[in-house]
Amino acid sequence: MPLKIVFMGTPDFSVPTLDAIHAAGHAIVAVYSQPPRPAGRGMALTPSPVHRRAEALGIPVLTPLSIKGEDAAATFRAHGADVGVVVAYGLLLPESILAAPRFGCLNLHGSKLPRWRGAAPIQRAIMAGDLSTAVEVMRMEKGLDTGPVAMTAETAIGPDETTLDLHDRLAGLGADLMVRALAALEAGTLGFAPQADDGVTYAKKIDKAEARIDWTRPAKEIHDGARGLSPFPGAWCEVATGDRVDRLKVLRSTVVEGSGAPGAILDAEGTVACGTGALRLVEVQRAGAKPQPAKQALAALKLAPGDRLL
């Protein structure tokens, strides 16, 4: 018999799991998502990706500002769910919500726990230069991503892979993993193992202040930081041309050999000297413009070998 599920999620990352659960034939009795936020030039209130997808599937959507308090708990209990499925919802679930479904709440998390508990596991894994990561299905408890793990799907992180690349792959892996976990839960065969006590790290929320490139750092560190922040908020530097200073986001890059004063452009291909080694810019974005090949952008800015990025 299909499980009765309350799904809780907000961004694009959550949508493949919502679709997969729906396609598997489970009864999604309600979807919770963050309230619509101002977006676009007109700053019109815009529903989240999960909100829009749930409406397209004909599933009732709730967008409370808070899920604390007895009224919120009573509303949640009234759904009569067997299990809650949480994928990047964005609000901490109180114990009254965690305990409401018959089988509790399962969370899809984008790292191999206990590494990178918290808000930004995909970005932090890349920024740290990790060679692999995972998605995991865990049972939620009061602590931050501390619950026991049921299933894991691991994947390598490519040396030039960005957060966008990894995000999309993990979203697909996670959707399949959650469907398999729900099938095991339905069959009574889903087991859980506690997380290790060692190796705990926290993936704190990305601060825009981290995005400014410091060309005195080693090329590998700059590269990992830039690809971890791509596409948003985007690692950036400045370019002085005449009496004007432009901001340049580095969206894709690769580490190469080379040396020179930090920030110096070494060739017409977009190689930039770092504190140690050099970085070949592959794709960049000028303020107010679309992403474009670095060579094309540097030519448009009339930059040549010997000029410097700040």
Domain boundaries, the chain: 4-202, 208-300
The token pair that represents 165 in the structure block: 């690349």
Residues 6+ apart with CB under 8 A from 285: 234, 248, 249, 251, 291, 292, 297
Decide if pLDDT at 241 tops 80.
Answer: no
**The pLDDT of residue 243:** 74
User: Whose CA is closest to 205, among 110, 121, 93, 114?
Assistant: 121
Tens digits of residue pLDDT in 179-204: 999 999 999 999 999 999 999 999 99
> CA 160 to CA 255: how far, in whole Å?
9
**Class of CATH domain 208-300:** alpha beta
Q: Sorting pLDDT into bands at 50, 70 and 90, what band is 240?
A: confident
The token pair that represents 226 in the structure block: 């830039």
- Return the CATH superfamily for domain 4-202: Formyl transferase, N-terminal domain (3.40.50.170)
Decide if pLDDT at 3 tops 80.
Answer: yes
Other CB atoms within a 10 A radius of the CB of residue 109 amount to 26
**% pLDDT > 70, the chain:** 100
> CA 126 to CA 112: how far, in whole Å?
13
Q: Indicate the angle between helix axes 163-187 and 15-23, nearest 10 degrees.
A: 30
Tens digits of residue pLDDT in 41-83: 777 889 999 999 999 999 999 999 999 999 999 999 999 999 9
User: Whose CA is closest to 146, among 184, 187, 196?
Assistant: 196
> CA 225 to CA 291: how far, in whole Å?
18
What does the buried/exposed string (b/e) look like for 145-178 if buried means 16 or more CB atoms within 10 Å of the residue's CB? bebebbbbbeeebeeebbbebbbebbbebbbebb
Mean pLDDT of the chain: 94
Q: Is the pTM of this model over 0.85?
A: yes
Q: Indicate the angle between helix axes 49-56 and 15-23, nearest 10 degrees.
A: 20
Taking a C-beta distance cutoff of 8 angstroms, is the pair 97, 73 a contact?
A: yes
Decide if pLDDT at 210 tops 90.
Answer: yes
